[in-house]
A and B are shown apart, each in its own frame.
Chain A
Amino acid sequence: MAVTKVINFLMRKLPNWVVYIILVLPAVYLTFALLGNQLGPDPIRTYQHKVGEFGLKLIIIGLFITPLRDLFNINFFKFRRCIGLMAFLYVCLHFLSYLVLDQSLNFNEVWKDIVKRPYITFGMISAGIMLFLSLTSNNLSVKILGPIYWKRLHQLVYLVSLGAVTHFLLLTKAWQIEPMIYFIILIGLLGYRALKAYQKRILNKKRNIS
């Protein structure tokens, strides 16, 4: 289709570094606004929520790339690493705001929180896995691990996304619509992959029989 062709052409022309800059700008803006006390009456929470939501959005956007190619022939593969790393940047700022502003670097309290509060536990698991994935988001790691193991490792992002949405679902005080929306979208994205894997298994079986 003409539209897909145009999009894919533009994406090929768009350099990666431009996308890095675009995605880093909100982080820079929010951080300066926080330090300049420009984030309204409750700056710590506002910052924490904004960067947390950015992180979650980028994780979800990253999960859209494969189905977009499979179903609509739109190819954003080139930006996968960039989106993943930028998601990690926002999660880092999110965690740092918690560590420094909420807990004043009191690691004892942080540890107690991780053990005691399920939403923090889920957030920590997701953030911890993301650290691993980010450290291996480079060509050298792909070479060392080999493409198959590297891919297996990076499929952990499914777990990351589930953990992050669970984190969000658990922390709201009363029934709120936003985390539900993320949850439904995520079920769609992961369901798509499950379906694809299932189809592939059946195809493989048929091939083995004949």
Chain B
Amino acid sequence: MTLFRGNIKYSDITAKADFLNRRQIIAGAAGLGAASFVGGAVQAQNLEYSTTDYAVNADITPKKDATSFNNFYEFGTGKNDPKDNASRMKIDPWAVEISGLVDNPGNYSLEDLLSGIALEERIYRFRCVEAWSMVVPWIGFSLSDILKRAGVQSSAKYVAFQTLNRPSEMIGIKRNPKFPWPYVEGLRLDEAMNPLSMIATGMYGESLPNQNGAPLRLVVPWKYGFKSIKSIVKITLTETQPQTTWNILAPKEYGFYSNVNPSFDHPRWSQARERIIGGGIFKRDTPMFNGYGEEVANLYAGMDLNKNY
């Protein structure tokens, strides 16, 4: 009986032959842009990136689990729904509108947005508010890179994000019209400028699968997963605290900050421990700020995090 898995690297999980095979397919299709369609399904593209010291010392979640166990309500509320339904989302062409208190507002194509930006791999722990966690090798860059480029004005205090809202390609929106679409999230500016905050365009060495938020998403590892908004189409710098979707839906359960905090329970379940996705039947204690306290605790000095949850 295997109660938990040993040390597996994600490159070991895909059979070698399979792996090589895919590389060849990708090499052949590389000229076709951000993503190419092969037989209706989106084909992942291998990415070039450097490695970094951002690497939690833990087993990486099997890729199969990280790409099939997802919350992305635009594609349905079931954990498998995003994988089953997200291939219909067209991610090429893609544009991101940068607006609000910036010097260079505009509607940027993905290519423009990413041009000249070097990708790097960061292995972060990802903690969902539902008390489970994964360890994911993201590929991307610091959020501050593009904010600096946009020219943040001194009056800006917050960053607001918005997910694509395209019902014709997102069945979860059609099924659930009462949900306050589009999905929106936000960070305080100093949180957004923290080096840990990243924009991911890939994971496991390849471009992001649609269900994981292609073509670009936020990853804020010391906050609950729903803060890490997917498939971003709009970034707005604001002076006032932006609205966030789960806070609109259930303000007593989900606050603006939503920092991982084991001593502050969700009303319906404890946050003290977490289930490890793909890791068997033993749980793990959840550390404050998901283990990133050294990097971020100073952002909240003097704040009562049980009030500002």
Contacts and interface: CB of A to CB of B under 8 A. Distances in A.
A36 B275 contact: no
B2 A42 contact: no
Nearest to A104: B283
Contacts of B275: 42, 44-45
A2 to B, nearest CB: 42
A96 to B, nearest CB: 12
A61 interface: no
A44 B278 contact: no
Contacts of A42: 69, 79, 132, 275, 277
A102 B284 CA distance: 10
Interface stretch (B93-101, B141-149, B156-164, B263-271): B263-271
Nearest to B78: A176
B301 interface: no
Contact of A174 (B4, B77, B132, B269): B77
Interface residues on A, range: 20 to 34
Is chain B's interface secondary structure helix, strand, loop, or mixed overall?
Answer: loop
Contacts of B270: 109, 113
Contacts of A171: 268
Interface in A28-69: 34-37, 40-45
Interface in B177-223: 178-179
A185 interface: no
A119 interface: yes
Interface in B245-288: 249, 265, 267-270, 272, 275, 277-278, 280-281, 283
Nearest to A34: B281
Contact of A43 (B77, B179, B281): B281
Interface string A97-114: 000011010000100010
Interface of A: 34-37, 40-45, 101-102, 104, 109, 113, 116-117, 119, 170-171, 173-176
Given A43-B281, A44-B283, 19 more contacts: A34-B281, A35-B1, A36-B1, A37-B2, A37-B3, A37-B4, A37-B5, A37-B281, A40-B69, A41-B69, A42-B132, A43-B280, A45-B132, A101-B283, A102-B283, A113-B270, A174-B73, A174-B249, A176-B77
11 contacts: A34-B281, A35-B1, A36-B2, A41-B79, A43-B280, A43-B281, A44-B275, A45-B132, A102-B283, A117-B269, A175-B178
